[in-house]
């Protein structure tokens, strides 16, 4: 089978013929059907996030179960699944609380390998890691059973793939993490895959004004089609906080930062109304620091929090998000700006970094 392999940060991916070892107990072999191209893959590829090498990047995908190892009970060959990039043991204190994205039960195992520490993808005998233990830019993968969520079979593949990262993260940030009230005013910073989904999460929750901020006009136009009522280009507007207050009066009740650098975090905080809540959603490079005014946190009772994976519980939330799409309550078609073959993967990253696409998706035969 073919897989796109990164041997060193800042090198292009190489699409190579690889071997795949069969699933062991509690593992499944999955045929990849569609895989989204996400900024997080780029963080691995450019060395922002230290990762074991060589590695197959990719973590947002859907596929079909081909084979189940001993003891697998939740899926069977032929099932359609969406990958969940967070393992959850079901037993640790966080899983017990229902906060499965914080699971610590698997933290002893290496990040790019199966739980027993072995690598299943090989190229000429050399073991290849799988990003987030998935590695979606491969025709087939072996992953732990708990990292796939079965879904209805009438869900189209490319749309299903996006549920696994940007849809879950953006919608979940609003509906599962912040749990905004109907009528709330909302600011969303960064209108890529995650930000557009935060906007539609706000629409689903009955938000009032939804202000979208980005540095690119094409992204802001897209934000309008996803439900933003107002837009701010922060590259050309020299006082976006003032603009948010002109639109909303006091500032927003909730801000969602899909970028999470020092400047966007400052905007997320400063644009809040008294009592407001700023949520960091996007994952920055590990070195980024941000600063807030503790004075305002106290006197204006502002809250700052972070959400990982939109605080979703994949087994519960993915099938619901899929139903929302099938019932036309979520727009996923509009996120898919381009599709690629696996052989075009490097072009997919180039276009993402040029800001040309909301999401590019690799579609497999």
Nearest distance in Å: CB 166, ligand CXF = 8
Q: Can residue 84 be called a binding residue for Zn ion (CB under 5 A)?
A: no
111 vs 208, beta carbon nearer ligand CXF: 111
Q: Can residue 40 be called a binding residue for Zn ion (CB under 5 A)?
A: yes
60 vs 317, beta carbon nearer Zn ion: 60
Helix/strand/coil (H/E/C) assignment for every residue in the chain: CEEEEECCCCCCCEEEECEECCCCCCEEEEEEEEEEECHHHHHHHCCCCCCCCCEECCCCEEEEEEEECCCCCCCCCCCEEEECCCCCCCCCHHHHCCCHHHCCCCCCCCCCCCCCCCCCEEECCEEEEEHHHCCCCECEEEEEHHHEEEECCCCCHHHHHHHHHHHHHHHHHHHHHHCCCCCCCEEEECCCHHHHHHHHHHHHCCCCCEEEEECCHHHHHHHHHCCCCEEEECCCCCCHHHHHHHHHCCCEEEEEECCCCHHHHHHHHHCEEEEEEEEECCCCCCCCCCCCCHHHHHHCCCEEEECCHHHCCHHHHHHHHHHHHHCCCCCCHHHEEEEECHHHHHHHHHHHHCCCCCEEEEECC
- Residues within window 158-177 making contact with Zn ion, judged by CB under 5 A: 165
In the list 35, 148, 283, 332, the residue contacting ligand CXF (rule: CB under 6 A) is 283
244 vs 280, beta carbon nearer ligand CXF: 280
Q: Are 58 and 136 in contact (CB under 8 A)?
A: yes
∠ CA 264-269-270, nearest 5°, is 95
Nearest distance in Å: CB 6, ligand CXF = 14
Q: Can residue 258 be called a binding residue for ligand CXF (CB under 6 A)?
A: no
Q: Can residue 85 be called a binding residue for ligand CXF (CB under 6 A)?
A: yes
Q: Can residue 40 be called a binding residue for ligand CXF (CB under 6 A)?
A: yes
Q: Can residue 307 be called a binding residue for Zn ion (CB under 5 A)?
A: no
Q: How many residues bind ligand CXF (CB under 6 A)?
A: 7
Q: Can residue 197 be called a binding residue for Zn ion (CB under 5 A)?
A: no
Q: Can residue 59 be called a binding residue for ligand CXF (CB under 6 A)?
A: yes
Nearest distance in Å: CB 59, Zn ion = 6
Nearest distance in Å: CB 336, Zn ion = 15
The binder of 283, among ligand CXF, Zn ion, none, by C-beta within 5 to 8 A per type, is ligand CXF
The binder of 132, among Zn ion, ligand CXF, none, by C-beta within 5 to 8 A per type, is ligand CXF
- Report the catalytic residues: 38, 40, 43, 59, 165
33 vs 86, beta carbon nearer ligand CXF: 86
Nearest distance in Å: CB 211, Zn ion = 24
The binder of 85, among Zn ion, ligand CXF, none, by C-beta within 5 to 8 A per type, is ligand CXF
40 vs 200, beta carbon nearer ligand CXF: 40
Binding footprint of ligand CXF on the chain (CB under 6 A): 38, 40, 59, 85, 132, 165, 283
């Amino acid at each position: 089978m073919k897989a796109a392999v990164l041997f060193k940060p800042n090198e292009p991916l190489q699409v190579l013929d690889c071997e795949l070892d069969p699933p062991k107990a509690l593992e499944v072999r999955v045929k990849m059907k569609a895989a989204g191209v996400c900024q997080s893959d780029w963080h691995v590829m450019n060395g922002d996030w230290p990762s074991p090498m060589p590695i197959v990047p990719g973590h947002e995908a859907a596929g079909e179960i081909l084979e189940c190892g001993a003891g697998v009970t939740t899926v069977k060959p032929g099932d359609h699944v969406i990958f969940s990039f967070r393992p959850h043991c079901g037993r640790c204190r966080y899983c017990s609380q229902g906060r499965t994205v914080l699971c610590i039960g698997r933290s002893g195992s290496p990040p790019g390998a199966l739980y027993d520490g072995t690598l299943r993808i090989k190229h000429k005998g050399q073991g290849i890691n799988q990003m987030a233990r998935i590695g979606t830019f491969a025709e087939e993968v072996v992953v732990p059973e708990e990292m796939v969520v079965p879904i209805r079979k009438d869900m189209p593949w490319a749309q299903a793939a996006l549920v696994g990262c940007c849809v879950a993260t953006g919608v979940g940030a609003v509906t599962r993490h912040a749990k905004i009230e109907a009528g709330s005013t909302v600011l969303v910073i960064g209108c890529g895959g995650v930000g557009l989904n935060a906007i539609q999460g706000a629409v689903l929750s009955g938000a009032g004004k939804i202000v979208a901020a980005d540095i690119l006009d094409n992204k802001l136009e897209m934000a309008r089609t996803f439900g933003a009522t107002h837009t701010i280009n922060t590259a050309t507007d020299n006082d976006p906080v003032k603009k948010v207050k002109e639109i909303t009066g006091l500032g927003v009740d909730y801000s969602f930062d899909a970028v999470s650098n020092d400047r966007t975090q400052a905007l997320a905080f400063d644009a809040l109304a008294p009592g407001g809540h700023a949520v960091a959603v996007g994952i920055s490079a590990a070195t980024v620091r941000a600063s807030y005014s503790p004075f305002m946190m106290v006197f204006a009772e502002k809250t700052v929090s972070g959400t990982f994976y939109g605080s979703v519980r994949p087994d519960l939330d993915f099938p619901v998000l899929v139903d929302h799409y099938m019932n036309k309550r979520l727009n996923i078609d509009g996120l898919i700006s381009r599709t690629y073959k696996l052989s075009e993967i490097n072009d997919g990253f180039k276009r993402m970094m040029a800001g040309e696409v909301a999401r590019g998706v690799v579609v497999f035969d």
